[in-house]
Structure 1
């Protein structure tokens, strides 16, 4: 059976586009949670009820109502292999919950993979929009258009007092999670990161790792998102995140300037050592790979490694994850085989550089 299109390339098409402050912000994301009025939430729905929800929501795409937003493809999770679902998680196109626990789960995926719509995850409908760089307001406008199309097609669970009703109380209200994925190596190296992240949490924002809630911030990648959805408007949520993220971008860039001014030889040695290890290692685990790729990315952004393309590094973040490694080779790999394969892929991509 042919691989789904999303499994062919590690780098989603939207990731190849330029975006503001791309040197610090890898991506901006909006996620909207919605439920259908006449059905129990997914955790309480019977198989027949969740199947009915799935078919209703898939029909919005299959009848062409979303075609103006990129002619999306539809996937029923039951028809995908475990590795294909893991690849979707590694590309941030579905959540681990949808991959592992959902009954009658499905996905509507835009051609550029900038829109991914999860069906029967924690909520009946989760609309996700991804943009490169710092474009959180642009991501909201796009996601809102998709939300409007669904709202014209199905009856949402909505309360005049509380807003949109969701499975988790923390999403009640607007149902919006806005987040930015930030690369903050200079703040980590200069020892400022804990103080800044503590301040971020004091203003109602959450800090997570690369794969969201419960994940570790490997490779100096931090996801910053709102925690409050009830009692605030969409504009207030976006303005708060935008303001805090803008300050963090400024702090990170100032820390990078400081590293160059005060420790140029040491930081250049650090990034070139990591580049050398990645270029010649025969075996490397995922945690070390993430840290070395972070160093190299910092070196590129500081102008110390002009021979390396950012798109190559973005691709390697995904293509060296366990699911994509195994999907690429079409077989299960044990940990040592994955570490050897990961090193091989990194060596090959850094050798071609484009």
Structure 2
């Protein structure tokens, strides 16, 4: 029995134990016995199962009350963040927090795989305890490591508070970066090559017949030079980032022309619908919450997109800017060309933070370098039945396989999965997209071989 079938069996048993199937069966039998079938069958079932449930009018009132409460809570959260921002921690308080956080991390014998835990030695802790990045940011080690101190299960556990964090705390960041990106044996002074998007015409439509690939997407992350990263952005700076990006999008032309929507002006229902379509982002990650990513939410957040929704810019999701190009097909060349053009338009008015050793800078050290993630959602039903072979092939091709929800391979359903480049640092943008192209072609060939073998068998 496959993992998916096993989950379905377990879920059915759960529904039976909870009485859900019995209750639904009774409701459906009652509906069947009705001489005059109601126009709204769902409403009939709902009323049958819950006589005390609110009617439609009451439901609408409750829904509006809930939305008003959420809005009020959001305003209170913003005010709380403003008040917190007015309270400056003393060096002694930072020392106390850092010492306690480090002790908690190191005393946890169950969660021992954090890169922060691996490389933050007692000697480095002592050296960096009261060191800060240059004014006016003045970021302490604690500002960078608080998420790792509180979430010991975090695989990395550290975020840069600003561009200077990578230099001021270099003895900590550098080994973490080299370890995560597989660069431990790289003794070069420069880990990231200069930007090179290559010849976009060499990137092609990988599935013209639309037999395997459902969609293709490429995204880049950028932070505006001279501004802190999210752990130390003030409310005014969140707004400043948004205004700079909004202004930069006004010069877009051709298929990139679109409109900017600030999140505060989008009602909750529309936001939920846009999130479902992957047009808008939402908050929720606990580690990012602790690190300060969602402070002053939704101030300074927004999205720019063209009418076709094939080109998007997310503002202050995590890094200042996330640039995305996508298509509901396998035309990776079209997606790549649009991304390159969109970035070029932004760079006419925006200067992004870049490091001579690490390339383009992001708050999370796992994303720096090219910051590029190219991916396809692809259906490979036969290969997915042999996860070991699939993973081995992906490793050989320098690709990563995940479920379409971003989860592990075990979450793959109906053979549909997310395939992306595994590396971000040490290669050019073109090399990474070409790696995805060549790898996806190889996986499709492997799937076709299995199809032929099945037909012959």
User: Is 2:356 the partner of 1:160?
Assistant: yes
C-alpha deviations, 1:198-242, integer Å up to 9, x for none? 331354322222233569323422111113211101121112111
CA 1:85/1:47 → structure 2, altered by over 3 Å: closer, same or farther? same
Rounded to whole Å, the distance in 1 between the matches of 2:276 and 2:452 is: 32
Rounded to whole Å, the distance in 1 between the matches of 2:207 and 2:323 is: 21
What residue is the counterpart of 1:27 in the other structure?
Answer: 215
Residues 374, 421 of structure 2: 8 Å contact kept? yes
User: Is 2:235 the partner of 1:47?
Assistant: yes
Q: TM-score, normalised by structure 1?
A: 0.62
Residues 179, 226 of structure 1: 8 Å contact kept? yes
CA 1:250/1:21 → structure 2, altered by over 3 Å: closer, same or farther? farther
User: Is 2:316 the partner of 1:120?
Assistant: yes
For residues 272-291 of structure 1, the aligned pairs below 5 Å read none
CA 1:77/1:213 → structure 2, altered by over 3 Å: closer, same or farther? farther
Residues 201, 207 of structure 1: 8 Å contact kept? no
Rounded to whole Å, the distance in 2 between the matches of 1:242 and 1:21 is: 16
204-213 vs 150-159, which moves further: 204-213
Structure with higher Rg: it is 2
- Count of aligned positions: 242
Q: Which has the higher contact order (CA 8 A, sep 6+)?
A: 1
CA 1:18/1:169 → structure 2, altered by over 3 Å: closer, same or farther? closer
Rounded to whole Å, the distance in 2 between the matches of 1:214 and 1:45 is: 33
Q: TM-score, normalised by structure 2?
A: 0.49
Q: Structure 2 residue aligned with 1:129, among 302, 308, 325?
A: 325
What residue is the counterpart of 1:77 in the other structure?
Answer: 263
What residue is the counterpart of 2:431 in the other structure?
Answer: 236
Q: Secondary structure of the residue that 2:273 maps to in structure 1? A: helix
What residue is the counterpart of 1:224 in the other structure?
Answer: 419
Q: Secondary structure of the residue that 1:185 maps to in structure 2? A: coil
Rounded to whole Å, the distance in 2 between the matches of 1:258 and 1:217 is: 23
What residue is the counterpart of 2:244 in the other structure?
Answer: 56
What residue is the counterpart of 2:56 in the other structure?
Answer: none
What residue is the counterpart of 1:208 in the other structure?
Answer: 402
User: Is 2:306 the partner of 1:110?
Assistant: yes
User: Is 2:172 the partner of 1:172?
Assistant: no
Rounded to whole Å, the distance in 1 between the matches of 2:312 and 2:347 is: 17
What residue is the counterpart of 1:141 in the other structure?
Answer: 337
What residue is the counterpart of 2:275 in the other structure?
Answer: 89
Rounded to whole Å, the distance in 1 between the matches of 2:207 and 2:383 is: 22
What residue is the counterpart of 1:333 in the other structure?
Answer: none
Rounded to whole Å, the distance in 1 between the matches of 2:252 and 2:367 is: 25
Q: Structure 1 residue aligned with 2:224, among 28, 36, 39?
A: 36
Rounded to whole Å, the distance in 2 between the matches of 1:144 and 1:76 is: 24
Rounded to whole Å, the distance in 2 between the matches of 1:195 and 1:85 is: 40
CA 1:202/1:119 → structure 2, altered by over 3 Å: closer, same or farther? same
Q: Structure 2 residue aligned with 1:248, among 431, 443, 455?
A: 443
What is the CA RMSD across the aligned residues, in angstroms?
2.6
Shift of 1:49: 0.6
What residue is the counterpart of 1:293 in the other structure?
Answer: none
User: Is 2:392 the partner of 1:198?
Assistant: yes
Q: Secondary structure of the residue that 1:36 maps to in structure 2? A: coil
